[in-house]
Amino acid sequence: MPEPRTPRTSKSHPLRIDVVQAHPGWGLIGMSLCPGKQQVDGLSGHWQRDLGVDLEHIRAWGASIVVSLVEHHEFAELGVEALPAEALRLGMAWRHLPIPDRQPPGLDFERRWAEVGAELFVALREGRRIFLHCKGGLGRTGTVAACLLREAGVGTTEAVAQVRLARQKTIETMEQERYVQAYTLKFAERL
């Protein structure tokens, strides 16, 4: 019988926040996996993280806004139903931009992006830090980080390269990469 996998915890594997920045003086975009993630048989292992410890780490890093890119049902699947309330309790704004796992942003995302994306762009321009996460911190997180860089005037190839240099294996699928390549500026010119 195989040995059970030792869970990865907030103590054994402190939350790693990988960072990109559009321009000197602008705020930072932090990218990571889901804080507080609970997952027994995930592709990346057995996770038993502490939501409070992870959110304190994100706050100490200086995040003013936490952006969850997971879908509604994933909060329960990952055991992080309290994430929105806890982020707010710790003084960080919380925004939800759901994207299906391993997919490019869809209509649900696009409806929210006009408002939330503009808020994130302004925050970055003002020098504030934002924290993006999905389940594993790769596909959805990298895609949205690259789109924010695009809004800030970074070219498509450079945006994808910066995100992948900061966090390996980001923008996981060809569909996600094509989304970034086809991304058109939504609000940078009017803000």
The residues annotated with a catalytic role in the active site are 134
Contact call for residues 43 and 81 (beta carbons, < 8 A)? no
Name the residue among 22, 189, 191, 187 with its Cα closest to residue 110: 187
CB of 172 within 8 A of CB of 134? no
Token code pair at residue 140? 């959805």
Question: How many other CB atoms are found less than 10 A from the CB of residue 23?
Answer: 12
Q: How far apart are the first and last CA of the chain?
A: 60
Q: Closest by alpha carbon to 147, among 130, 135, 126?
A: 130
By DSSP bridging, strand 29-32 and strand 18-20 are antiparallel
Fill in the amino acid letter for 140.
R
Q: Identify residue 6 by its one-letter amino acid code.
A: T
Spatial distance between the Cα atoms of 20 and 30, rounded to a whole number of angstroms: 7
User: What is the Cα–Cα distance from 108 to 160, expressed in whole angstroms?
Assistant: 23
